[in-house]
């Protein structure tokens, strides 16, 4: 029997996520949006591609939350996208209103689901989703660290002309300008990045990683990133379903880990069918720890602004 995944928001991120889920035959997909016709049309298009992917997934488009009932996973992508010159934080209040409505509805129709939040500012929206749904913390997870780490691996691979598969990198903290790349754990073919690239070039890569989304927004003019965010969500889904067993950096509720309590922030975790199975605490240097705490406190500030 197929699993069932609801994707809330039939924009670029949501539709691409639905496409990847169906293409990999991971689950049946419900694509839901407030605009009539859009999720139905996009879902039908994806459904018609399934025979070519040898996928038996059923893809449904709807405007009715009753169709999402009993989903195993709900992915929330609904919200306004960034425009040029707009930070993730600028989206705070507008997207908070959208998230509140979505969270109330999925709490009713999908009470046992694991929720993956993509909407920006992601860490604060994940915190808000948990508060509104009242789901256990381990079942409400933010996507951010997976994407940030993938971006860093990409820029390192491009700089060195190597395969991204040979690059390992991990980025902690909030999904924003205060994210914390851990250079001690960044390797290329097993060698530390500091032994391969000069400090100035490493700093350029870090800055490009931090501005990875903004760079795409600036190029697109009327949209934001969606291929890599969608692929990051699917990486989490595959791990939750047990097809992969990688440690992934995700935004989760911290209860004292890394010296932070009562807020969502990106850390390496084990995921399973119950959501967050375990938070992995890495040994951080004092500078790394302080940078992480600063990043987490910035998220806390955003949460306070929306009454979290």
What phi and psi, each to the nearest 5 degrees, are found at residue 235? -60, -40
CA–CA dist 22, 17 (Å, integer): 9
Burial of residue 109, with CB atoms counted within 10 A of its CB: 0-12 exposed, 13-18 middle, 19 or more buried? middle
User: Is 175 among the catalytic positions?
Assistant: yes
Q: Which helix (H) or strand (E) holds 5?
A: strand 4-8
Q: Which pair of structure tokens corresponds to residue 45?
A: 């298009």
Burial of residue 200, with CB atoms counted within 10 A of its CB: 0-12 exposed, 13-18 middle, 19 or more buried? exposed
CA–CA dist 206, 156 (Å, integer): 9
- The 8-class DSSP code of residue 280 comes to -
Do residues 217 and 252 lie in contact, with contact meaning Cβ atoms separated by under 8 Å?
A: no
User: Of 54, 108, 127, 175, which one is the catalytic site residue?
Assistant: 175
> Active-site positions?
175
């Amino acid at each position: 029997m197929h699993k069932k995944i609801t994707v809330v928001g039939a924009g670029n991120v949501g539709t691409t996520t639905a496409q990847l889920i169906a293409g990999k035959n991971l689950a049946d997909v419900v694509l839901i949006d407030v605009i009539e016709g859009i999720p139905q049309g996009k879902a039908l298009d994806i459904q018609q591609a399934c025979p070519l992917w040898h996928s038996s997934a059923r893809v449904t488009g709807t405007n009715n939350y009753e169709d999402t009932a009993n989903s195993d996973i709900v992915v929330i992508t609904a919200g306004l996208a960034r425009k040029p010159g707009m930070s993730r934080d600028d989206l705070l209040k507008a997207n908070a209103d959208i998230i509140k409505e979505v969270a109330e509805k999925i709490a009713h129709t999908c009470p046992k689901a694991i929720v993956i939040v993509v909407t920006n500012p992601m860490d604060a929206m994940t915190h808000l989703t948990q508060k509104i749904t009242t789901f256990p913390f381990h079942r409400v997870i933010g996507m951010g660290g997976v994407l940030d780490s993938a971006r860093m691996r990409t820029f390192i691979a491009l700089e060195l002309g190597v395969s991204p598969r040979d690059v390992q990198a991990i980025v902690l903290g909030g999904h924003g300008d205060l994210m914390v790349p851990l250079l001690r754990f960044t390797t290329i073919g097993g060698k530390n990045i500091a032994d391969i690239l000069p400090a100035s070039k490493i700093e350029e890569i870090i800055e490009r990683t931090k501005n990875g989304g903004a760079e795409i927004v600036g190029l697109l003019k009327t949209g934001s990133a969606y291929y890599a965010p969608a692929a990051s969500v699917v990486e989490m889904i595959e791990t939750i379903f047990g097809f992969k067993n990688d440690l992934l950096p995700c935004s989760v509720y911290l209860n004292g880990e890394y010296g932070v309590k009562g807020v969502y922030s990106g850390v390496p975790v084990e995921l399973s069918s119950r959501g967050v199975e375990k938070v992995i605490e890495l040994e951080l240097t004092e500078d790394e720890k302080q940078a992480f705490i600063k990043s987490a406190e910035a998220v806390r500030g955003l949460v306070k602004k929306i009454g979290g």
